């Protein structure tokens, strides 16, 4: 059975898409077959993996709204073991289009049902909001992974997201995969303070691996490549590989 992991944080700019791309790529490096679903209307995951959005005839939007089969939109990527269900900015209209549909919050869950034995992991990159696209993702997922920067405002956003996650956990059997610190700078006192506060709240759900802020990680999406292909020996690449190892180790606990 596939494990479905939604990567979510209602606060933008926390490395959510970077984490979605590079976690999936790192898992594939360890020969874990992955499907990456771009359900963020900014569609940065799609372009970040080198998909030319102007050539796409069908996307995840058509899966959600017109019930097109998911296999009809999946694309291969430059990495072995890694496929993507792409998006374009047209997905921004899905929040409105979903409102009047029956089972509007379960469209993605239904679309994924036949893929439960195709991929080892299905990673969903959620939008930075708590609208219907994110709710669809969380309901479809087994667990949610929260990327987080070490800053004060991130703590405020985490509290709001946690309320939503805990409510969905009660109704839809959703579990918390963990909290990952991104753009981490160990030289600042604030970074250490935020880590301590989050550990008080989430304890063993906080990953030991921390993703540093690096130029190469920021550059790689503009070249349509995950960090492991763009900068194989870089600090960011090494950090995501370590994170993938820690992630996989927890699956076997």
Q: Which domain holds residue 210?
A: 3-251
% of the chain beyond a pLDDT of 70? 94
**CATH number of the domain to which 190 belongs:** 3.40.50.300
- What's residue 116's pLDDT? 79
Q: Give the DSSP H/E element, type plus range, for residue 121.
A: strand 121-125
Three-class secondary structure of residue 199 per DSSP: helix
Does position 37 have pLDDT exceeding 80, yes or no?
A: yes
Q: In what order do the strands lie in the sheet with 121-125?
A: 75-76, 82-85, 34-38, 121-125, 3-7, 143-149, 175-184, 206-212
pLDDT per residue as tens digits for the range 87-126:
999 999 999 999 999 999 999 999 999 887 789 999 999 9
Question: Which among 160, 153, 179, 148 has a CA at the least distance from the CA of 246?
Answer: 179
Average pLDDT, the chain: 90
Three-class secondary structure of residue 10 per DSSP: coil
pTM of the model: 0.93
Does position 158 have pLDDT exceeding 70, yes or no?
A: no
- What's residue 108's pLDDT? 97
For residue 155, name the pLDDT band (cuts at 50, 70, 90). Answer: low
Terminal-residue alpha carbon distance, the chain: 17
Does position 187 have pLDDT exceeding 90, yes or no?
A: no
Q: Give the DSSP H/E element, type plus range, for residue 60.
A: helix 60-65
Does position 231 have pLDDT exceeding 90, yes or no?
A: yes
Lowest mean pLDDT among 18-32, 52-66, 70-84, 108-122: 108-122
* Cα 103–Cα 106–Cα 112 angle in degrees, nearest 5: 135
Question: Which among 168, 45, 59 has a CA at the least distance from the CA of 106?
Answer: 168
- What's residue 154's pLDDT? 65
163 or 16, higher pLDDT: 16
Domain count, the chain: 1
- What's residue 253's pLDDT? 60
DSSP string, 50-107: T--GGG-SS-HHHHHHS---GGGT-EE-SSTTEEEE---GGGGGHHHHTTTSTTGGGH
Three-class secondary structure of residue 105 per DSSP: helix
């Amino acid at each position: 059975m596939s494990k479905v992991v939604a990567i979510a944080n209602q606060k933008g700019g926390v490395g959510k898409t970077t984490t979605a791309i590079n976690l999936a790529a790192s898992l594939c490096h360890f020969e874990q077959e992955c499907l990456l679903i771009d359900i963020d209307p900014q569609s940065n995951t799609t372009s970040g993996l080198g998909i030319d959005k102007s050539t796409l005839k069908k996307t995840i939007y058509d899966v959600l709204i017109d019930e097109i089969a998911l296999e009809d939109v999946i694309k291969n990527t430059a990495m072995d073991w890694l496929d993507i269900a792409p998006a374009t900015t047209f997905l921004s209209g899905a929040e409105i289009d979903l409102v009047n549909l029956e089972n509007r919050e379960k469209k993605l869950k239904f679309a994924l049902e036949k893929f439960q034995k195709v991929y080892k992991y299905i990673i969903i990159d959620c939008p930075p909001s708590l609208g219907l696209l994110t709710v669809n993702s969380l309901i479809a997922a087994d667990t949610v992974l929260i990327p987080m920067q070490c800053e004060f405002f991130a703590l405020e956003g985490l509290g709001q997201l946690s309320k939503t996650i805990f409510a969905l956990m009660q109704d839809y059997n959703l579990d918390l995969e963990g909290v990952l610190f991104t753009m981490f700078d160990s030289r600042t006192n604030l970074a250490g303070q935020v880590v301590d506060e989050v550990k008080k709240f989430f304890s063993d759900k906080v990953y030991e691996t921390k993703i540093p802020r690096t130029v190469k990680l920021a550059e790689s999406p503009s070249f349509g490549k995950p960090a492991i292909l763009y900068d194989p020996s870089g600090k960011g690449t090494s950090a995501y590989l370590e994170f993938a190892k820690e992630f996989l180790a927890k699956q076997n606990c």
